[in-house]
Chains A and B, each alone.
Chain A
Amino acid sequence: MINFEDELKKFHPSMELDGVEAAVNNHDMTDMTDIFMTMMREKADAAMQARVEGQAQAQAQMEQIMYNTLP
């Protein structure tokens, strides 16, 4: 059985002509390609960070070895 009040809640005011500008401005434009590119960027940043950290660690190890081997 249809409940009028409940059904009425499914209807929303239609957008009027004055609201076009706001609708365009507030339109959520985020799509999967945006998310994908963000993910790829984060991945690249993480890789770069790991590389920098690895290099620093290797250099520190090298310095430690040199310090131990030198008389």
Chain B
Amino acid sequence: MNCYQCGNRLSEEDFCTSCGADVGVYKKILAMSNYFYNDGLARANVRDLSGAVLSLKQSLRYNKRNTEARNLLGLVYFEMGEAVLAMSEWIISRNLQPSKNIADEYLGVLNSSPTRLDNIDQTLKKYNQALQFCYQDSKDLAIIQLKKVLSINKNLISGYQLLGLLYICTGDYDNAKRTLFKALSVDASNTTTLGYIKEVNDLIREQEEKTGKKVSTLPMETISYQNGNEVIIQPVYQKEKVGFSSIINIVIGLLVGVAICWFLIMPARMAGVTQTNDEKFKEVSEQLAAEQASAQETAKQLEDTRNQLDELQRKYDDITGASGRKTELDYLMTAAVAYVSDPTDSITIMENMDHISEEYLETATESFKALYDQLKTDVGSLAAEEYIENAKLAVKANDYDQAIEEYTKAWLLDKSNSDVLMNLAHCYRQSGDTRKADELYRQVIDTFPDTQNAMDAADYMTEER
């Protein structure tokens, strides 16, 4: 203890041995501060936090430089969930005593974990919001908000008290008592909490007397004991009764467990198994579809291959003559043989040569083409004349279809004879096909202009019109 005037260490005397200042009262003030600090410490040890706060505040009113009292006050605030008040006390303490101060350590712990600090701040903000809800008479919202706050900040005494008060006002006495008992477990002799518990007990008794039924399952009574000048009141925790009711409870618990398994867990597991099976089924179906598509593709390829093979076999048979079908070469050879044996048998020769198509001639060999052209040149005019004679005979017999066929063959062999074309047109006209007849008359006029046939054709066309 130092002199307030000169800072010299004080002796047992009531004056300063250095400057002579009267320090009797000063010493008493510091002694009072220390007394209240000790009282606060004792209260804090028995979890009388609100009492400790009062004593420590008193101690600091006597001596603001009592760092230990201030640090302890911060600690008590922190235990009560008031972290911001605790921080302010520790900061003041550190400013008053910068060195060898445990407040540094406390602040260091808080500052080293910004998340924790942020959580504390959030809970305090939510508490204030809940208080606002209370002012706005939104008790339900306030209860929800306070529950959130207390799930994070489990020591916030004012939160428990406010929640207890809200439960009392909403008539939920069991929850009110539970909440207030939690507050008591943090701060054992908070008068507000104890007052609320007493009020709840009175309300429960009143209600039980009115209804004649047991309203609350929680203990009604509290234990009171003297600690110095303070009366500590704690709730009595009754031991749970064992016996037949326990067995019933166990059975009920088992039934509830089975019901939960049956209604909650089993459907989820069944759904999981079903989903797995569905996925497997889908996978197998996809594989099957792919296999089927592959099989169809293979069958199609096999069919194509078979068709190609048949085509090749047919061509091979045609070439080798194994199929019995005559080829163009056979027809040409037959025509050549007929020409050699009887050059005047033009009809036989031409009938064989008619089987040789223009398409085949385009791809035929030079020798084939030369023989074909030679035969056609030699026999063509003769054959045309014979066709004309046959046609005339057919006209005489009124067989116009035969005549048309014969004149057509003659015209194909000799396209310089306008009479053939003219007679062919007449035959069509006689057979009733006037449109074809007109077409051929027009061809006569176009192909052989300035001829008698062209003029006749024009007349016939005029007649038709």
Give the CA-CA distance A33 to B65 in the complex, in Å: 9
Which B158-172 residues have C-beta < 8 A from chain A?
158, 161-162, 165, 168-169
B134 within 8 Å of A by Cβ?
A: yes
The answer on a CB contact under 8 Å between B61 and A31 is yes
Q: Nearest-CB distance from A45 to chain B (Å)? A: 14
**B168 touching A2 by the CB < 8 A rule?**
yes
Query: A67 to B227, alpha carbons, bound, how many Å?
Result: 77
With the chains together, A67 CA to B30 CA distance in Å?
55
Give the number of chain A interface residues (Cβ < 8 Å): 26
B388 at the interface (CB under 8 A from A): no
Complexed CA–CA distance, A17 and B134 (Å): 22
Residues B124 and A40 in contact, CB atoms below 8 Å apart: no
From A8, A13, A20, A33, contact of B64 by CB (8 A): A33
Q: List 28 A-B contacts (CB under 8 A).
A: A2-B169, A4-B169, A7-B165, A11-B131, A11-B161, A11-B162, A13-B127, A14-B82, A14-B158, A16-B128, A17-B120, A17-B121, A17-B124, A20-B84, A20-B88, A24-B88, A24-B91, A24-B95, A31-B61, A31-B62, A32-B32, A32-B61, A33-B26, A33-B62, A33-B63, A34-B64, A36-B29, A40-B4
A-chain residues with CB within 8 Å of residue B161 when the two chains form the complex? 11
Q: Judge whether A27 and B196 touch: CB under 8 Å.
A: no
Query: B66-117: which have CB < 8 Å to A?
Result: 82, 84-85, 87-88, 91-92, 95, 117
Which of B21, B26, B121, B196 contacts A2 (CB under 8 A)?
B196
B60 interface hit (Cβ, 8 Å): yes
User: Chain B residue with minimal CB distance to A15?
Assistant: B84
Q: How far is the CA of A10 from the CA of B401 in the complex (A)?
A: 128
Task: Assess whether B121 is in contact with A16, with CB atoms less than 8 Å apart.
Answer: yes
Interface residues of A in 5-51 (CB under 8 A from B): 7-8, 10-11, 13-17, 19-20, 23-24, 27, 29-34, 36-37, 40
- Chain B residue contacts of A24, Cβ below 8 A: 88, 91-92, 95
- Cα–Cα distance between A22 and B120 once the two chains are bound (Å): 18
Within the assembled complex, what's the spacing in Å between the Cα atoms of A34 and B65? 11
A6 to chain B, nearest CB (A): 11
Interface centre among A4, A16, A30, A33 (most CB of B within 10 A): A33
B405 within 8 Å of A by Cβ?
no
- In the bound assembly, the distance between CA atoms of A58 and B161 in angstroms comes to 71
Query: In the complex, A27→B64 CA distance in Å?
Result: 11
Q: Does B192 contact A (CB under 8 A)?
A: yes
Complex CA gap A24/B121 in Å reads 17
| B131 and A17 contacting across the interface, CB-CB below 8 Å | no
Report B-chain residues with C-beta under 8 Å of the C-beta of A10.
192
* B25 interface residue per 8 A CB criterion: yes
Q: A20-B88, A23-B85 are in contact. Are A14 and B127 (CB under 8 A)?
A: yes
B386 on the interface (CB 8 Å rule)? no
Give the distance in Å from the alpha carbon of A7 to the alpha carbon of B161 in the complex: 10
User: Given A14-B124, A31-B60, A8–B134 Cβ distance below 8 Å?
Assistant: yes
A33 touches B29 (CB 8 A): yes
CA distance A33 to B5 in the complex (A): 11
Q: Which of A11, A15, A33 contacts B4 (CB 8 A)?
A: A33
Residues of chain B within 8 A of A15, CB atoms compared: 82, 84-85, 88, 124
Q: Which listed residue, B21, B30, B88, B120, touches A33 by the CB 8 Å rule?
A: B30
Q: Is B199 an interface residue (CB 8 A)?
A: yes
Q: How far is the CA of A59 from the CA of B79 in the complex (A)?
A: 67
B165 touches A8 (CB 8 A): yes
> How far apart are the CA atoms of A29 and B165 in the complex, in Å?
34
Inter-subunit contact B84/A31 (CB<8 Å)? no
* Residues of chain A contacted by B125 (CB below 8 angstroms): 16
In order of increasing CB-CB distance, the 9 nearest A-B pairs are A17-B121, A31-B64, A23-B88, A13-B128, A15-B84, A14-B124, A32-B62, A32-B29, A4-B169
In Å, the complex CA distance between A11 and B160 comes to 12
The answer on a CB contact under 8 Å between A4 and B88 is: no
Question: What residues on A are CB-neighbors of B4 within 8 Å?
Answer: 33, 36-37, 40
Note all chain B residues with C-beta closer than 8 A to A16: 84, 121, 124-125, 128
Q: How far is the CA of A61 from the CA of B82 in the complex (A)?
A: 68
CB distance from B37 to the nearest CB of A (A): 13
A40 touching B22, Cβ below 8 Å: yes
